[in-house]
């Protein structure tokens, strides 16, 4: 079985982090995890230390992309075969990890835990952004990604190394579209997600609209011009 690292980026998640980590470790003690505290202003880091969780404590706030990249660098440096992102707010359920890992071991580069693979995507305002991003990816890559905004993504060793070393590899749909265009294989696995357990989501209407516009411009216009640096395969560089 591949050695999997679960990266849990946490920013001001003192109300959720214990339940999320306990839920993971009690059900699946065989998987390694690491909490990346993204410069939280609450007691997230102190709580993790008190419970003895494996913690990377960033001294300043880097944002999700930076926190996740930290986790992937940890995975790359410590010889993990694959890594996945799991949100610290309890939306991502560990029950689906084995299915995703199995899909990754079939030879896929990226596995997305998708809410809308077999379930119909609701036609609500909240999902409008998801529709637009799905459509953008469809248009530019020809591949249907049912749930592009799902944060529950698993990456194989080559992807982990590539994400860990480069600029513009945020864990976002535009990176996925770029990688599909460059021949990465992406598979979705149907999952169910919970509601956020406690605390405030940063996703208000204004932020969502900004995010959507940024992603659409990035996927539709900018990703075409990127050059992929793969003369030497990433896993071979650090050997």
**Which residues would be at the binding site for other proteins (CB under 8 A)?**
59-60, 166-168, 174, 213-214, 217-218, 221-222, 225-227, 229
In angstroms, what is the minimal distance from the CB of 167 to other proteins?
5
- Cβ distance to other proteins smaller for residue 116 or 178: 178
The alpha carbon of residue 238 and the mean position of all alpha carbons in its chain are separated, in whole angstroms, by: 23
The alpha carbon of residue 9 and the mean position of all alpha carbons in its chain are separated, in whole angstroms, by: 9
Q: In the chain, what are the helix, strand and coil shares in percent, each to the nearest 5?
A: 45, 15, 40
Report the residue count for the chain.
Answer: 239
In angstroms, what is the minimal distance from the CB of 186 to other proteins?
20
In angstroms, what is the minimal distance from the CB of 121 to other proteins?
26
In angstroms, what is the minimal distance from the CB of 174 to other proteins?
7
- Cβ distance to other proteins smaller for residue 28 or 211: 211
In angstroms, what is the minimal distance from the CB of 224 to other proteins?
9
Residue pair 171/151 in contact (Cβ under 8 Å)? The answer is yes
- Cβ distance to other proteins smaller for residue 80 or 178: 178
- Cβ distance to other proteins smaller for residue 191 or 215: 215
Residue pair 55/47 in contact (Cβ under 8 Å)? The answer is no
Q: In sequence order, what are the beta bridge partners of 110? A: 155, 186
- Rounded Cα distance, 236 and 87, in Å: 30
- Cβ distance to other proteins smaller for residue 95 or 229: 229
């Amino acid at each position: 079985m591949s050695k999997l690292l679960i990266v849990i980026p946490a920013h001001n998640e003192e109300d959720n982090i214990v339940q999320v980590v306990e839920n993971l470790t009690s059900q699946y003690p065989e998987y390694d995890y690491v909490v990346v505290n993204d410069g939280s202003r609450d007691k997230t880091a102190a709580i993790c230390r008190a419970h003895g969780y494996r913690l990377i404590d960033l001294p300043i706030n880097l944002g999700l992309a930076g926190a996740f990249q930290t986790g992937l660098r940890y995975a790359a440096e410590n010889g993990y075969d694959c890594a996945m992102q799991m949100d610290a707010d309890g939306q991502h359920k560990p029950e689906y990890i084995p299915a995703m890992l199995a899909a990754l071991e079939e030879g896929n580069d990226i596995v997305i835990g998708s809410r809308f693979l077999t379930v119909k995507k609701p036609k609500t305002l909240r999902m409008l952004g998801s529709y637009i991003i799905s459509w953008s990816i469809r248009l530019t890559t020809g591949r249907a990604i049912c749930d592009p905004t799902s944060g529950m993504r698993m990456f194989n060793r080559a992807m982990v190394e590539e994400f860990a070393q480069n600029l513009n590899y945020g864990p976002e749909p535009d990176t996925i579209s770029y990688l599909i265009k460059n021949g990465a294989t992406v598979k979705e696995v149907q999952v169910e997600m919970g509601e956020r357990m406690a605390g405030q989501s940063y996703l208000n209407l204004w932020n969502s609209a900004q995010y959507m516009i940024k992603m659409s411009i990035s996927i539709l216009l900018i990703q075409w011009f990127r050059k992929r640096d793969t003369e030497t395969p990433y896993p071979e560089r650090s050997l």
